[in-house]
Every structure is written in C-alpha cells, then in structure tokens.
Amino acid sequence: MTLLQFHAAARTADIAPGAVLHVQVAGNEVAVFNIGGEFFATSDRCTHMRGRLSDGYVQAGVIECPLHFGKFDIRTGRALSPPCKIDLAVFPVRVEGGSVLVQCCTLSGT
C-alpha cells in the first residue's frame, strides 16, 4: 500500500536563502530549496537525463540543471527551457519547529 506522509527532511538552519540541499526522503531523492525564507521541495533528478539538480544553480526561483542547463520553476516544477520538456515532481512542504517536512510517498508493508 502507498501512503502519503510528511517526513522530516532537513533543519531550516541547514539551508541558507538561495541554497538547495539534497536529501533522501522515504526512498525518494529530493531537492529542498530555500527561496527567500520559504521552503520548497522537488525531485532531485532532472526530467531530461536525471542530472542531480541539487548540484545545479539557483537563481530567482529557478533551478538550472548542471548537466545540460535546462531550467525549472522551483515553486511549480514547470520545465522552462530546453532540453527539458517534462515538468519536475514537486512535493508539499511544511515547516515545524525548525524542521522542514516533505510529503512523499511511502510504501508500507502488506
């Protein structure tokens, strides 16, 4: 069975404004972004050829993939420039007590 749950992913203090952090959340590779004090989470794998987005360049709410320089809107996951055509998965985020919680799918036992 698949469950949607919020999982502790990072401490807010570990992600400076304008920065991105790679985390594993319930088996998912996730990029957590701090955009002007607001936190967002997307898949950490580019939809083009799976470049690691947390190694990319963040500017004005946009992440640029380090492999072929495709861009995505961090808030919506929308693919903004070639070679990326497929939008990025985005995950709901909550901040509680200095922790960033990310909602991801979890597989539970039978």
Which residues make up the interface to ligand FES (CB under 6 A)? Answer: 46, 48-49, 51, 65, 67-68, 70, 83-84
- Judged by beta carbon, residue 48 or residue 75, the one nearer ligand FES is 48
Identify the helix (H) or strand (E) that includes residue 90.
strand 90-91
- Judged by beta carbon, residue 61 or residue 66, the one nearer ligand FES is 66
- What's the closest the beta carbon of residue 67 comes to ligand FES, in angstroms? 4
Provide the strand spans (E) within 1-68.
2-11, 20-25, 28-35, 38-43, 57-59, 62-64
**Count of Cβ atoms closer than 10 Å to residue 94 Cβ:** 11
- What's the closest the beta carbon of residue 8 comes to ligand FES, in angstroms? 28
- Judged by beta carbon, residue 14 or residue 87, the one nearer ligand FES is 87
Evaluate whether 31 touches 42 at the Cβ level (below 8 Å).
yes
- What's the closest the beta carbon of residue 52 comes to ligand FES, in angstroms? 9
